[in-house]
Structure formats: structure tokens, C-alpha cells
Copies of this chain bind each other. A is one copy, B any other.
Amino acid sequence: MIVILEKNITDKKMDEIISLLEENMFSVYKSSSEEEVILHVSGGKPGFNSKNLKHLEGIADVIKTDESFKLSGRKNKNENTLITLPGYEGVEIGGNGIAIIAGPCSVENEKQIFEIAELVAKCGARILRGGAFKPRSSPYSFQGLGADGLKLIRKAADTFKLAVVTEVMDTRHVDLIEEYTDIFQVGSRNMQNYPLLKELGKRKKPVLLKRGFAARIEEWLLSAEYILSGGNEGVILCERGIRTFENFTRNTFDLSAIPVIHQKSHLPIAADPSHATGLRQRVIPMARAAVAAGADAIMVEVHNNPQHALSDGPQALEPDQFCLLLSQLKRIAEVIDRKII
């Protein structure tokens, strides 16, 4: 830690600061140049909140050199985390392959989820998404089928040999969802629901952790840290668009987060162009862009129902679009020596 002193600090004040640091078990070494006087500081009492130092009289700034995300950071573990799913050979996230996760926004009924699962499998994807418990801005919107939805997606996935990812929002539902899913999904609005993250940290199944729509990358990695520090090493980050001032798009899809995550962390990163853009004609170019930018997985919504556009979300891809998109993604993946799985 480096403590930069105010230029006009008195000797008395400087001595007080040094004493205070030493009382708190820090080793302090003073270094002066023509430009500034700094204290090069190490050690310190456990639990000492060095942020507060910054606001002491006589201190201009405090620079911490440690990254706050220890377990998720690349500094402590250089090799990429590779997530595999027991029972689904060849499905892995974080290796050379780029996994495709597809399905409806919500599980609506048996016919719907079976038709979509069949489509997903037919086009070559291996992981089925679909919400049973849905976080909705308004209490008056459809809140999902709950436990019934979990049973349906599991049955459909098993029929077509797909793995399942579905969302968990409530600490009280973790046990239930664990029975049915292969990957827990934590949604954008729950990225900083710490009791939920702690509970998932105690489980064995991997967690797809969506970025909060206004979360800085550092905070996202700190949320991953809650899961990792509980003992669960299987975290997949998922960029899904951030909130900005732009209003011609639903969110701003922050694809530059992909190379940043690859630099800072060993965790795999997925991208969800469906939620990011909200419109199927924008999902296609942005899915291509996500692969070109280096995403380790792509998550998209598809529907089974081209003739009834009203009942599907405007972002769900039509069956033909989905298969065509996968063929384009394959060719882009080859350009960067990767493959679609």
C-alpha cells in the first residue's frame, strides 16, 4: 500500500500518521522526492479498512496494489477455469470450444419446451435455457411456472440429451432448483444478492453469473468471489448488456468486457445478445460479434412458433435464423482457431 501525503503537510501531522499506522501494525517506510513524500506501507492489523485512511487530514491519496478479487483474478491462478458437466461428454465452457446455450425466455407449457428443446438439439447446441422463476419489473407480469416449469424443462432436456440452465432468485429455492438444473443462473438484478451467492458457493453445480446491468467489472468479479470463496469453483460470467443513456437500444452490449475478463480473470465468459439487444434482427450480428470478440459461450433465446409472433418475445430467434446463425458462428470461430460446441 502506498500513502501519498499532502504537499503542505507539517512534520507533526506526518509523525502522527506514521504513529497511527504503526499502532495498527503496519511497517512504514518514508520516501521523499522533489515532487512528493510518500509512505510505503505493508502489513497491518487484520480487518483494518484502509479505505478510511484516505480521508485523514494530511493524506492526499492511498493506493492499494492488491486486486480485490483474489480467487477470480488471473494473478493467483493463471490457467483458464474449464467447466464440465457430469453426464454431458464434450460439453465444456472455458476451453477451446464455444458453447451454445439456447431456449425460450420462460418455460410456458410442455409442447413449447419440447418443441424448442428438439430444435436446439437438432441445430447442434447442447445446453437448454428456460426460466421457471422469472424476475419481472412489475408484480403484474407473468412470474413463471415455478416448480412445474422446472419439471418440464428437465424432462424436455433429458429427452433430447441437453444440459439445463435455469434461474434461481430466492435462497429458499436453491435446494429445489438444484434437483432439476445442471447450471444455476443468477440474473442481472441478483448479481449483488449476497445471501444467494453465499448459498450457491456451498453447492457443487456451476453458476452462470450474469453481470448486473450497472455493475462495474470489478464488482462482477467480487460477486464471483462470493461463490468461489464458498468452495464452488464453477463460475461462468455472462455479459448481457449494461445501462447507459442510449435509448434506441434496450441495453448497451459491452463486448469489450470480453477481452477485459480474459485479461483479469481465469473464469470463462459467456455473452447473451438476446437480452442485450432485445430484437432478433440485432441478436444475429451481435452474436457474431461476441464470438469474434472471444466469448466462451453464447446464450440466445429461440422460439418454436414463427406464425404467432405475438406470444413470443421480440428477441427470440426463429428456428431457421437459429440454425443459420450457428453456421455463421462456426466459420467465425475458425478464424480465431476455435470451434462451436
> B-contacting residues of A (Cβ < 8 Å)?
1-2, 4, 7, 20, 24, 27, 29, 31, 33-36, 38, 40-43, 47, 49, 51-56, 60-61, 63, 65-66, 68, 70, 75, 135-143, 169-173, 189-190, 192-195, 198, 212-214, 216-219, 222-223, 225-226, 229, 242-249, 252-260, 263-264, 276-277, 279, 281-282, 285-286, 288-294, 309-314, 328, 331-332, 334-336
Residues of chain B with a CB closer than 8 A to A7's CB: 75
| Residue contact A255 to B289, C-beta cutoff 8 Å | yes
Given A43-B34, A292-B291, does the pair A246, B255 have CB atoms closer than 8 Å? no
Nearest-Cβ distance from residue A338 to partner chain B, whole angstroms: 12
| Residue contact A172 to B172, C-beta cutoff 8 Å | yes
Residues of chain B with a CB closer than 8 A to A65's CB: 4, 35-36, 60-61
Nearest-Cβ distance from residue A144 to partner chain B, whole angstroms: 11
CB-nearest residue of chain B relative to A227? B139
Assuming A33-B40, A56-B309, what are 10 further A-B pairs, CB within 8 angstroms?
A: A7-B75, A33-B41, A34-B42, A35-B65, A52-B310, A243-B245, A245-B245, A246-B257, A288-B293, A332-B335
CA of A4 to CA of B312, assembled, Å: 21
| Residue contact A256 to B277, C-beta cutoff 8 Å | yes
User: Can you offer 13 A-B residue contacts whose CB atoms are under 8 A?
Assistant: A2-B38, A2-B63, A4-B65, A20-B310, A136-B194, A170-B195, A242-B252, A253-B255, A255-B289, A259-B286, A288-B335, A328-B335, A331-B334
| Residue contact B243 to A214, C-beta cutoff 8 Å | yes
| Residue contact B214 to A248, C-beta cutoff 8 Å | no
| Residue contact A40 to B43, C-beta cutoff 8 Å | no
Nearest-Cβ distance from residue A8 to partner chain B, whole angstroms: 8
Given A36-B65, A285-B293, A294-B285, does the pair A137, B2 have CB atoms closer than 8 Å? no
Q: Which of B171, B192, B263 contacts A170 (CB 8 A)?
A: B171
